[in-house]
Structure 1
């Protein structure tokens, strides 16, 4: 039967040759029903886990002759879960509302199905679509939002893969949107038509199509800009003696840091972290003291993160609630760290190996995360966001980097959406870099402005490109490369210090 709207009415059309998925999706309140599960092996455990994950208050009775240990564990955690060790009898279904058969005995499964149908009960038989009255689909959940996926029993594996795609693609912040829409709906006055119209207007942004970006055009524009700069520089070099003299007086360190900063900013844009740790490691290798290195990093990050933060804001990648929780604690931690490190500038020969040790640890952390990208994120979001911001800001200022490695990775590992987390961390980083830079400038007498200028200009040039390429290239390959490079540079710096001491 197919329902089709016509002139504000419904017309029933009989289609005897219907094809495709004929299942009717429903969401059942299992906490108000009694579910009987027969079978307690690995398949039974999978069915039971699916039930309890979606309906923790469901009343379930498991009947089997043998049980895998995990089911006994679940029985100790869920009060409404009962396990009975016995052979199945049809009277076990007398008080059931829903039946699931998960045994490895085909004859027993058929007997259970007949017993359920004799009592007008719906039944699911594991791995036997032809015996099922209903299927347990793959579920994607974001708070109050729940999406069920069905392949009509054809391929649970495909349903599983679609679940992974939707889990990654649907932001966790959708639950916040649902709560806000619920409050808005309850606050609206007027008739039904007015409410529907208002809610449609508010939610239209969810389905509004973003303007398509012509990537070839973007690269063409950037290539034209770079070419124009190059032609201008060559023309000035041969036509203007004063320009040539000015360029010749620029210390080569400026160009080293310009190129390094450009590359590090592109890497940071791709994986959302590592600019601070790579730049600090490079600076220490070039003989820049820790405090001056950290100052250079944070001054360059003012412009680069300001540009990147603005780009993410324009792309709608900011979680404002998360931003507010990170900002003030992050600034306090960064200013405190910058003050302490600047106070120890005269002892840079002693602080340098400790900062190198810190970058070595961060390199190991980045390398470790590269091989755990597919690890399942926690189901519960991290709660102590202000404490995370405070610690991340302090360590970032002292070590010249770590805000992305610590804060961003912790947020994602705690279940936050990667895209929103990246945008929020980038924007908050702008303010944190600004305040820590002001602290460094106030405390230090700068003697390394060539390096700082190179960092600032290089990162600023890379920032618009970096924001566009985020999550577009192989994250694992970049993280492995960055981790190895940082580890090697840090070990070299520590080894050089030990040689001097010995």
Structure 2
């Protein structure tokens, strides 16, 4: 395993949070992938990323809230069911085969990413600017599924929730901000479950701290970028991000 300096890990956290905070997805996947590419064992990389998200999602969520990127009507259903799904997903990770689930999720995300990319690239005049409400039952189902996959696969909350909301009419900046703030509460449940299951002594707390510091520094900037980007461009970037993340899931052995 390559020894990374605190500064190098901090840069990884910074870059991962810029992507996640601006597009509503990618912190866990980006940070885990970069850590693994430097020789950090996959399990340790995933655990470190999830734990550091406790800090980054808090700062990111508050930043989005202050900038008006959050819709409160989306939060409660996503959080309440997401906590349950995250806990069950973390528990299931040690007993259920994750590869078939990842393949299914990869194909679903690929389809969603393609639809979003097409919608915002070729239908620039049909972007919905009205505030659309959702049945709480639909949001609870979305939150449960996304959190379950996130815990089992090391990522998935943002890639599943954000495009789902965008495809059904939510403005991209509101989808990104609401998903980011809800993720803080989901991450608490998932991280606590992992800590209980594998024990805190197996964690690399220096990596966790460096990732968290880098992400905290980046969070306000990422929220500002999300707020200022044109909605059409943000939608296109969200679609591309989902496609790239889905390819990573499908191609990863």
TM-score, normalising length: structure 1: 0.41
Matched, 1:288 2:41: yes
The answer (yes or no) to whether the contact 2:86–2:190 under 8 Å persists in 1 is yes
Counterparts of 1:230-309 in structure 2, within 5 Å, are 251-252=3-4, 254-285=6-37, 286-290=39-43, 292-309=44-61
Q: Which residue of 2 aligns with 1:427?
A: 181
Higher relative contact order (CA 8 A, sep 6+): 2
Matched, 1:463 2:226: no
State the SS of the aligned residue for 2:155: coil
Counterparts of 1:33-112 in structure 2, within 5 Å, are none
State the SS of the aligned residue for 1:298: helix
Q: Offset of 1:339 from its aligned partner? A: 1.9
Counterparts of 1:24-423 in structure 2, within 5 Å, are 251-252=3-4, 254-285=6-37, 286-290=39-43, 292-341=44-93, 343-344=94-95, 357=103, 361=107, 364=110, 368=114, 369-374=116-121, 375=123, 376=126, 382-383=134-135, 384-423=138-177
Q: Offset of 1:404 from its aligned partner? A: 1.3
Partner residue of 1:487 out of 242, 247, 250: 247
Q: Offset of 1:274 from its aligned partner? A: 2.2
Query: Which is higher, the Rg of structure 1 or of structure 2?
Result: 1
1:439-498: CA deviations, max 9, x gaps?
Answer: 11111132444443332222122111111111545543575377447736863x42xxxx
State the SS of the aligned residue for 1:470: helix
Greater strand fraction, Structure 1 or Structure 2: 1
CA change 1:381–1:433 in 2 (3 A) is same
Cα distance in 2, alignment partners of residues 281 and 326 from structure 1: 26
Q: Which residue of 2 aligns with 1:180?
A: none
The answer (yes or no) to whether the contact 2:32–2:42 under 8 Å persists in 1 is no
The answer (yes or no) to whether the contact 2:90–2:194 under 8 Å persists in 1 is yes
Q: Which residue of 2 aligns with 1:31?
A: none
Q: Offset of 1:426 from its aligned partner? A: 1.4
Greater helix fraction, Structure 1 or Structure 2: 2
Cα distance in 2, alignment partners of residues 422 and 313 from structure 1: 11
Superposed CA RMSD in Å reads: 3.4
CA change 1:362–1:447 in 2 (3 A) is farther
Q: Offset of 1:385 from its aligned partner? A: 0.9
TM-score, normalising length: structure 2: 0.76
The answer (yes or no) to whether the contact 1:264–1:279 under 8 Å persists in 2 is yes
Cα distance in 2, alignment partners of residues 478 and 325 from structure 1: 23
CA change 1:485–1:253 in 2 (3 A) is farther
State the SS of the aligned residue for 1:401: coil
Q: Offset of 1:328 from its aligned partner? A: 0.9
CA change 1:306–1:361 in 2 (3 A) is same
Cα distance in 1, alignment partners of residues 9 and 112 from structure 2: 23
CA change 1:309–1:323 in 2 (3 A) is same
Cα distance in 2, alignment partners of residues 409 and 304 from structure 1: 21
The answer (yes or no) to whether the contact 2:16–2:30 under 8 Å persists in 1 is yes
Q: Which residue of 2 aligns with 1:440?
A: 194
Report the number of matched residues. 237
CA change 1:316–1:263 in 2 (3 A) is same
Cα distance in 2, alignment partners of residues 467 and 366 from structure 1: 23
Cα distance in 2, alignment partners of residues 488 and 389 from structure 1: 22
State the SS of the aligned residue for 2:195: helix
Q: Offset of 1:356 from its aligned partner? A: 6.8
